[in-house]
Amino acid sequence: MSAILHVLAVEVGDQDLDPDAVPDANLVLLACAGLVTTVPGHASAGRSDPAQGRKDLRELRLVHFTTHEYFERTVDRWYPKADLKITLVCLTYLAIDHYLRQSYDDGHMHVQLLEYAFRNWPAHAAVVDRDGAAEDVAEVATALARLINKEGDVCRNTSSN
């Protein structure tokens, strides 16, 4: 559950994560009432969640497989630019300073988010490239350039030390 909350806190284009932007788990559950449920977690079991001030032992799941099927069929109606938003959040997360993330994130959750962003942003970007408007593709290119420039700065700063 902690990973979902942190993803919701990522603002496209930000250079760091604001721990105060992490939403309260109970508010997210209330907003999604009837669509999601929590189940005992395994990946984050026993790890503390600084944003919530307690142990995070829950994983968020859709309440039923038919809910997933419904959203798969109707995603374009409810969230027409989902792949664009996911691509931009992934690229933003990859560009956020590693040390700032570690200062308050659960290490395991941090690795999960980084792995998802690293492995999946190209697939989401491919959908934007195939189906998106020119301005959507340009927005992805800008976010990618921001990431590349950030990584170049990190490499230059590291090699000069």
Those residues whose C-beta lies under 8 Å from the C-beta of residue 137, and which sit 6 or more positions away, are: 128, 129
User: What predicted TM-score, i.e. pTM, was given to this entire model?
Assistant: 0.75
pLDDT of 136 above 80: yes
Cβ–Cβ under 8 Å, residues 5 and 138: no
Give the range of the structural domain holding residue 45, as residue numbers without chain letter.
Answer: 2-159
Task: Write b or e for each residue in 53-72: b if 16 or more Cβ atoms lie within 10 A of its Cβ, otherwise e.
Answer: eeebbbbbeeeeeeeeeeee
pLDDT of residue 48: 45
pLDDT of residue 6: 86
Cβ–Cβ under 8 Å, residues 95 and 114: no
Cβ–Cβ under 8 Å, residues 90 and 123: no
Q: Which amino acid is at 61?
A: R
Number of domains the chain is built from: 1
pLDDT in tens, 65-91: 999 999 999 999 999 999 999 999 999
pLDDT in tens, 9-35: 999 988 888 889 999 999 999 999 899
Q: What phi, psi does 106 have (nearest 5°)? A: -65, 130
Q: What phi, psi does 60 have (nearest 5°)? A: -90, 130
